């Protein structure tokens, strides 16, 4: 027990300081995403607190930060607008339909965890991962450019003159501190120190710059001050629980659940690579789903893992669950007690932190390997990056996986080979090499000449693997073709599962398939337990 607590507290200082830094960075992000979705800033802040708290305790990846995200907010815009249109403006129905959708989203995510669907993230190819981080870095960068605008009347216009130069100077100073401080000492969290230094310069110098408080007021909010989240009984009063409601919210819930899980699991993989540890994807699905159910019931807009804040945390030394816990509780403390102080933090400091996150997120190695990887992989990398920027993460990743799968199928379809020879008794043998599946059956069929082949034909599958139903159907049709020509055909070295399926398809295959085979290569492939020693020790 003592050893357990020692392990948990070994990195406590870094976790606490990194968690505080993350909490500061969460504030403008949560507020901005709430404005994007068309809801009150507190709805975004409550989501960041509740989701961050629950996933830090129960999630499958210690050190990963979750909260309200832009990827989900852009989908919620039309949901809230359509919900509001269903009633009077004063009823604010869109908000309650949002809460109901987030609850359903959480249920879908928990089901994904129960059925262990999180493991399918392993099917995401590396070019898709690189495209994902590149696209996300670009999205984060573009989202920060909006901070260089000011409100003039009812419009947002680019800053000009001294105001722009002061903003740029403070951003550059923040980035310089974050870049230079680790070279002097690694005991201090560079992001937190940068935010404190720049905030002190702005407050003591009485500089007229945008702050968290002015950012909230410009967006129509009243401030950060709020109480504890309250259970939203109005969900059950204002949202009718019938088929029409389900028909309206289910497509949104499904899209939100997919985006949330993809972003969370890909962030989990990214953090795994950085920390050289391994998280639990199915546990993360359950935690994300449970967190969204709770946040929907208590007035939050829902969320998922945040790659930017996760990288801030990891870079700041946060590795354990304590860092996420501190970030969530500190955010709640800001809402309850320190809203006035947080509102004085200059936006420039937070923009500088996020720009450093962009630099750390972007896979710069992708430029170096462009001429070293297959063109198909390069195309997938660029495609995913572009789709992430233009559409959203879910569309980009799904498209990348589909294109990668098609490329893989096409390449493997070209690898089917048939070596032909004739035995002393006149039997023609086709030795098949390569995978036999839906993509290669055309090339497979072209290898045979049923009309001109001798009366006895043998097809040897020892170097091939029958992979799907299309392949079984191709074998079945080939046997039919040779028998229609009045010729004898035999199949050798088929796998056990393939033989079972052929026997189920037609009893005649028991006469066509050769069962008694004296070939060490085949037995080694079929049952490795029969050959426990290294291959080199056997004399074939």
CATH number at residue 512: 3.30.750.24
Q: Is 374 within the bounds of a domain?
A: yes
Of 191, 223, 227, which Cα lies nearest the Cα of 343?
Answer: 223
At 155-204, the pLDDT tens digits run 778 888 889 999 999 999 999 998 898 888 776 767 778 888 999 999 99
- Structural domain harbouring 198: 9-140+157-221+239-403
Report the DSSP beta bridge partners of residue 420: 430
Does residue 462 share a domain with residue 374? no
Q: Is 412 within the bounds of a domain?
A: no
Q: Where a domain ends, among 358, 373, 403?
A: 403
Q: Report the chain's terminal Cα–Cα distance, integer Å.
A: 55
Does residue 394 share a domain with residue 528? no
Q: Given a cut of 70, is residue 99 above it in pLDDT?
A: yes
Mean confidence (pLDDT) of the chain: 83
Q: Where a domain ends, among 376, 403, 430?
A: 403
Does residue 24 share a domain with residue 166? yes
Q: How confident is the model at residue 285 (pLDDT cuts 50, 70, 90)?
A: very high
Q: How many domains are there within the chain?
A: 2
pLDDT of residue 37: 78
Q: How confident is the model at residue 133 (pLDDT cuts 50, 70, 90)?
A: confident
Does residue 336 share a domain with residue 465? no
The count of C-alpha atoms lying within 13 angstroms of the C-alpha of 315, restricted to the half-sphere facing its C-beta, is 23
Does residue 388 share a domain with residue 430? no
Q: Is 226 within the bounds of a domain?
A: no
Does residue 40 share a domain with residue 126? yes
Q: How confident is the model at residue 527 (pLDDT cuts 50, 70, 90)?
A: very low
Residue 320's φ and ψ, nearest 5 degrees, are -105, 180
DSSP one-letter code for 454: -
Three-state DSSP class for residue 489: strand
Q: Given a cut of 90, is residue 328 above it in pLDDT?
A: yes
Q: Is 270 within the bounds of a domain?
A: yes
Residues in CB range of 424: below 8 A, 6 or more apart: none
Question: In 59-99, which ranges are E strands?
Answer: 66-67
Residue 439's φ and ψ, nearest 5 degrees, are -80, -20
Q: What's the pTM value of the predicted model, to 2 decimals?
A: 0.70
Residue with tokens 């994007």: 36
Residue with tokens 């709805």: 43
Q: Given a cut of 80, is residue 486 above it in pLDDT?
A: yes
Report CA torsion sign: 351, 353, 355, 358: negative
Q: Is 2 within the bounds of a domain?
A: no
Does residue 213 share a domain with residue 129? yes
At 397-433, the pLDDT tens digits run 888 889 988 888 888 888 888 889 898 888 899 998 8
| Mean pLDDT along residues 496-511 | 80
Does residue 380 share a domain with residue 428? no
Does residue 458 share a domain with residue 375? no
Q: Is 150 within the bounds of a domain?
A: no
Does residue 76 share a domain with residue 100? yes
- The answer to whether 55 and 64 are in contact (CB under 8 A) is yes
Does residue 426 share a domain with residue 389? no
Report CA torsion sign: 245, 249, 251, 257: negative
Does residue 426 share a domain with residue 391? no
Q: Is 148 within the bounds of a domain?
A: no
């Amino acid at each position: 027990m003592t050893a357990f607590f020692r392990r948990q507290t070994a990195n406590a200082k870094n976790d606490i300081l990194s968690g505080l830094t993350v909490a500061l960075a969460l504030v403008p992000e949560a507020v901005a995403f709430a404005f994007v979705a068309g809801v009150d800033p507190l709805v975004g802040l409550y989501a960041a607190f509740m989701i961050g708290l629950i996933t830090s305790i129960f999630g499958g990846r210690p050190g990963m930060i979750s909260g309200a995200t832009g990827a989900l907010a852009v989908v919620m815009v039309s949901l809230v607008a359509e919900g509001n249109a269903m009633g009077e403006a004063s009823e604010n129905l869109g908000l309650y339909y949002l809460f109901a959708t987030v609850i359903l989203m959480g249920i879908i995510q928990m089901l994904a965890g129960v059925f262990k669907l999180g493991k399918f993230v392993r099917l995401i190819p590396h070019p898709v991962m690189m495209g994902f981080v590149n696209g996300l870095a670009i999205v984060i960068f573009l989202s920060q450019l909006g901070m260089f605008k000011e409100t003039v009347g009812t419009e947002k216009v680019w800053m000009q003159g001294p105001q722009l130069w002061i903003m740029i100077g403070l951003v550059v100073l923040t980035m310089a501190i974050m870049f230079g401080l680790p070279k002097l000492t690694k005991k201090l969290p560079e992001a937190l120190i940068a935010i404190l230094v720049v905030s002190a310069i702005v407050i003591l110098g009485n500089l007229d710059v945008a702050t968290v408080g002015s950012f909230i007021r410009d967006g129509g909010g009243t401030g950060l001050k709020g109480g504890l989240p309250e259970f939203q009984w109005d969900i059950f009063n204002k949202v009718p629980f019938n088929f029409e409601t389900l028909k309206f919210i289910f497509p949104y819930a499904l899209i939100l659940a997919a985006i949330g899980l993809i972003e969370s699991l890909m962030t989990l993989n990214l953090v795994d690579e950085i920390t050289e540890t391994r998280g639990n994807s199915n546990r993360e699905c359950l935690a994300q789903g449970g967190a969204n159910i709770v946040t929907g019931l208590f007035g939050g807009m829902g969320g998922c893992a945040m790659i930017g804040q996760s990288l801030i945390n990891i870079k700041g030394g946060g590795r354990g669950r304590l860092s996420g816990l501190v970030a969530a509780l500190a955010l709640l403390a800001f809402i309850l007690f320190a809203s006035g102080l947080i509102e004085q933090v200059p936006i420039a400091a937070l923009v500088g932190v996020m720009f450093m996150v962009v630099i750390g997120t972007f896979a710069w190695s992708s430029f170096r390997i462009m001429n070293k990887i297959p063109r198909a992989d390069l195309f997938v990398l660029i495609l995913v990056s572009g789709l992430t920027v233009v559409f959203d993460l879910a569309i980009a990743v799904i498209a990348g996986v589909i294109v990668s799968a098609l490329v893989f199928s096409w390449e493997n379809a070209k690898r089917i080979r048939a070596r032909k020879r004739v035995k002393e008794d006149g039997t023609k043998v086709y030795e098949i090499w390569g995978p036999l599946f839906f993509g290669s059956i055309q090339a497979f069929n072209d290898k045979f000449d049923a009309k001109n082949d001798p009366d006895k034909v043998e097809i040897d599958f020892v170097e091939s693997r029958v992979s799907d139903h299309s392949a079984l159907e191709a074998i079945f049709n080939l046997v039919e073709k040779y028998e229609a020509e009045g010729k004898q055909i035999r199949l050798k070295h088929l796998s056990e599962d393939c033989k079972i399926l052929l026997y189920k398809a037609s009893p005649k295959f028991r006469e066509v398939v050769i069962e008694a085979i004296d070939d060490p290569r085949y037995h080694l492939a079929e049952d490795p337990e029969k050959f426990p020693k290294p291959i080199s020790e056997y004399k074939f």
